[in-house]
Amino acid sequence: MQILQNISLKPYNTFGIDVLAKHFVSVTNIDDLKNILKLKEFSNKLILGGGSNMLLTKDYNGLVIHINMKGVEIVSDNGDTVWVKAHAGENWHQFVLWCIENNYGGIENLSLIPGNVGTAPIQNIGAYGVELKDVFDSCEAISLESNEIQIFTKSECDFGYRNSIFKQDKKRKFIITSVIFKLTKGQHKLNINYGAITSQLEASNIKKPSIKDVSNAVIAIRESKLPNPKEIGNSGSFFKNPVISNSQFKTLAENFNDLPSYPISESEVKIPAGWLIEKAGFKGKRLGNYGVHKNQALVLVNYGGAKGEEILNLSKLIQKTVKRLFNISIEAEVNIL
Ligand code: EPU
C-alpha cells in the first residue's frame, strides 16, 4: 500500500472531472484501511468508492482513500434463500451479473447501475420498482472514530428513497466494507410491473421471463435512456424526484394536464424531476462541453473536459428555473465536493 501524491481523480469519478488529490491511496484489505485511518498527519480524508454519485468541483487538499476491497462469498444457504457477502470494492453491475449467472434472484432490476457495492446502501440505490433495501440483509462498516468494525442490520440502516442512516446521523462517520445480500434461489419474485419493463419484455415476445430476461430488459431500457459513463461523463440522476402535497399537485395539474405523479402517501405525491426539467426547456441543452442529456433530463453530462464548477452552476440554474416555473424545489442527489 503506497500513498501517492498529486493524483488525477478523473479515472475515479464517472462524471470524468479532472481534479487532483493531494494524497491518494487505494486500499485492498481491512487491515490496510485501519492503518490508514490511524494516520494522524492527514486531517482531511475523502472516502471514494465507485465515484458514481459525486461531482468534484475543486482539487482535494487531503487524502483520498479509494476503497478497493474485492471478493464475493456465500455466507449461508437454506435451499430457498442464499446470503451472499460482497466486499465494498466490487463493481455493482459485475456483482449483479454474477448473481444472475448463479440464478440468485432479487437484484436483476438493479442491473447496470454505475458504482460499487460499498456505496450502494448509502443512497439505497433503486430502479424499476426495486431498491437495494429489498435485498439487503446487513453490512459491515468501520467507524472513523473508533476504527472498529460495526454491523448494521437492515432496520438500523433506516432506508428511505435515496436515503439511509449513512446520509443522515452516520454521515461521514463510517466506511462500509462489505454488504450481505439476501437472494432467492428458485422461487424468484419478479418485479416486472414497471411500464418500461413490461413493454420491453413484450417487444422481445418473452412471456415467462427469467431473472436474466429481466436483467436484459433493464439493460436495454437504461442503454436507451441513460448515457454510458464510459462514453459520456455523468452521475446518473443528478436530482431527486421531489415530493409535493396533493393540493399543490392539484393546482399545478390545472395548468399542466400531462404532469405525471406517483402517490406516496395519502397527502403527498412524487413528481418526476425529469419532467419538470424538460418542461423548463433544459432537456438536451448543451453548453460547450457539458449539458443536459437528450434522452433523460434528470442526467447532467460532461462531454469531455468540463469543470465541476460549470456543471454545478448549470444545476443551480435548473433548480432556480424549476422553482420559478412550478414553485417546486429540486434537490441534488449527487454529492457535491
Ligand atoms: N420524464 C420526462 N422527461 C425526462 C425524463 C423523464 O418527462 O426527460 C418523465 C417520463 O415521461 C416518466 C417519468 O418522468 O413519466 C419517469 O421517468 P423514468 O421512468 O425515466 O424515471 P425517473 O423518475 O426519471 C427514476 C430514478 C432513476 C431510475 C428510474 C427507473 C430518481 C432520481 N431516478 O428516474 O435512477 O433508473 O427511476 O426506476 O429516482 C439514478 O438514481 O441515478 C437513476 C438513474
Gap from CA of 216 to ligand 1 centroid (Å): 18
Atom 41 of ligand 1, nearest CA residue: 237
Q: What is the mean pLDDT of residues 300-317?
A: 98
- Tell whether ligand 1 has an atom less than 6 A from the beta carbon of residue 282: no
pLDDT at residue number 40: 86
Reported as a single tens digit per residue, the pLDDT across 196-225 is 899 999 999 999 999 999 999 999 999 999
pLDDT (mean) for 292-306? 97
Q: pLDDT over 90 for what percent of the chain?
A: 96
Mean pLDDT of 302-311: 97
For residue 255, give the H/E element and its range: helix 246-255
How confident is the model at residue 186, as a pLDDT? 85
Pairing state between β 130-131 and 262-263: unpaired
Q: Check if the beta carbon of residue 1 is closer than 8 Å to that of residue 38.
A: no
Q: Is 293 in the pocket of ligand 1 (CB under 6 A)?
A: no
pLDDT category, 194, cuts 50, 70, 90? Answer: confident
Q: What percent of the chain has pLDDT above 70?
A: 100
Q: Where are the alpha helices (DSSP H) in 78-233?
A: 92-101, 154-157, 195-203, 211-225
Q: 200 alpha carbon to ligand 1 midpoint, in Å?
A: 16
Looking at this protein, which amino acid is placed at residue 290?
Y
Active site members = 162, 237, 333
Q: Is 236 in the pocket of ligand 1 (CB under 6 A)?
A: yes
Residue 298 Cβ contacting ligand 1 at under 6 Å: yes
CB 24 within 8 A of CB 304: no
pLDDT of residue 154: 98
**Euclidean distance between CA atoms 92 and 90, whole angstroms:** 6
So what's the pLDDT on residue 258? 93
Q: Which atom of ligand 1 approaches the CA of 128 most closely?
A: 38
- The residue-averaged pLDDT of 106-116 equals 96
Whether the pLDDT of residue 43 is over 90: the answer is no
Is any ligand 1 atom within 6 A of the Cβ of residue 131?
Answer: no
CA–CA separation, 306 vs 15, rounded Å? 9
Question: Ligand 1: does its nearest atom lie under 6 Å from the Cβ of 278?
Answer: yes
Q: Report the nearest-CA residue for atom 24 of ligand 1.
A: 274
pTM: 0.92
pLDDT band, residue 136 (cuts 50/70/90): very high
Say if residues 46 and 60 touch (Cβ distance below 8 Å).
yes
Tell how far the Cα of 132 is from the centroid of ligand 1, in angstroms.
17
CA distance 68 to 332: 26
Task: Write down the mean pLDDT value for the chain.
Answer: 96
